[in-house]
Amino acid sequence: MISKKMEKALNGQVNKEMYSAYLYMAMSSYSDGMGLKGFANWLMAQYHEEMLHAMKIYEYITRQGGRARVLAIKEPPADFGTPLNMFKKVLEHEKFVTRSINDLVDLALAEKDHATHIFLQWYVTEQVEEEENDNDIIARLEMVGNSKDGLFMVDKDLAARQTTVPTDFSKGIESAMKAAGE
Ligand code: OFO
How many whole angstroms from its chain centre is CA 62? Answer: 21
Where residue 8 falls among pLDDT bands split at 50, 70, 90? very high
The best mutation among 14, 17, 48 to test binding of ligand 1, ranked by most ligand atoms within 8 Å of the C-beta, falls on: 17
Residue 130 Cβ inside 6 Å of ligand 1? The answer reads yes
Q: Note the pLDDT tens digit of each residue in 36-84.
A: 999 999 999 999 999 999 999 999 999 999 999 999 999 999 999 999 9
* Ligand 1 centroid to residue 125 C-alpha, Å: 11
Question: Which residues make Cβ contacts (< 8 Å) with residue 164, sequence separation at least 6?
Answer: 180, 181, 182
* Ligand 1 centroid to residue 136 C-alpha, Å: 16
| pTM of the model as a whole | 0.95
- The answer to whether residues 74 and 19 touch, using CB atoms and an 8 Å cutoff, is yes
In terms of residues, how long is the chain? 182
Q: Spell 52-67 as b/e; 16+ CB within 10 A means b.
A: bbbbbbbbbbeebebe
Angle between helix 148-159 and 114-144 (nearest 10)? 150
Task: Quote the CA–CA distance of 58 and 61 in Å, as a whole number.
Answer: 5
List the chain domain ranges.
4-179
Residue 134 Cβ inside 6 Å of ligand 1? The answer reads no
Residue 53 Cβ inside 6 Å of ligand 1? The answer reads yes
Q: Give Cα separations from 65 to 34, 68, 80 (angstroms).
A: 46, 9, 40
* Ligand 1 centroid to residue 22 C-alpha, Å: 11
* 4-179 to CATH, choices 1.10.240.10, 3.40.50.300, 1.10.357.10, 1.20.1260.10: 1.20.1260.10
Task: Quote the CA–CA distance of 53 and 119 in Å, as a whole number.
Answer: 12
Q: Note the pLDDT tens digit of each residue in 148-179.
A: 999 999 999 999 999 888 888 888 888 888 88
Q: Whose CA is nearest to atom 3 of ligand 1?
A: 94
Return the closest-CA partner of residue 13 out of 110, 126, 112. 126
Residue 20 Cβ inside 6 Å of ligand 1? The answer reads yes
